[in-house]
């Protein structure tokens, strides 16, 4: 790869699209797996433990706020169920609040007998470019 001049690199943040906390965390986590080309959180963790890895470098242009980091760490156990290729997402039942891994679509709750809930499924967080002036504030605050 050619050496880049020190032009300001574009930075991005992730914007979850789901409603509930656990699914918002999953929206971000699945996008992080896609960005880094890793299969699951275990592989991601191994990749990020080496600061010079390709995964770490790809993720370095994404800025996370403390609320997002808290969300990810609060739901780390459920997020370990996620897979990148093929995608395994999370579903959460709005009635019994159980979370499970789903590969296809979910139409009804099958986690609790007789539960009338229709589970929501996690999606993929959007990548939003951070304007340079906002980014400068982020970096000076850090
Ligand atoms: Zn349910």
Condensed to tens digits (0 to 9), the pLDDT of residues 70-102 reads 999 999 999 999 999 999 999 999 999 999 999
Confidence of residue 11 (pLDDT cuts 50, 70, 90): very high
Cα(81) to centroid of ligand 1, in Å? 18
pTM reported for the whole predicted model: 0.89
Cα(6) to centroid of ligand 1, in Å? 52
Nearest-angstrom CA–CA distance, 29 and 97: 20
Condensed to tens digits (0 to 9), the pLDDT of residues 98-142 reads 999 999 988 899 889 999 999 999 999 999 999 887 777 766 665
Nearest-angstrom CA–CA distance, 81 and 22: 12
pLDDT the model gives residue 110: 87
């Amino acid at each position: 790869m050619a050496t880049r001049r020190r032009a300001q690199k574009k930075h991005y943040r992730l914007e979850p699209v789901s409603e509930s906390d656990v699914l918002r965390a999953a929206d971000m986590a699945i996008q992080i797996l896609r960005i880094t080309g890793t299969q699951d959180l275990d592989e991601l963790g191994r990749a990020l433990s080496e600061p010079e890895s390709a995964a770490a470098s790809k993720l370095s242009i994404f800025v996370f706020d403390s609320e997002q980091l808290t969300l990810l760490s609060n739901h780390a156990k459920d997020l370990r169920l996620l897979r990148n290729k093929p995608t395994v997402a999370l579903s959460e039942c709005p009635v019994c609040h159980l979370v499970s891994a789903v590969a296809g679509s979910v139409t009804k709750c099958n986690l609790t007998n007789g539960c009338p809930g229709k589970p929501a499924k996690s999606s993929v967080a959007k990548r939003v470019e951070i304007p340079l002036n906002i980014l400068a504030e982020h970096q000076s605050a850090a």
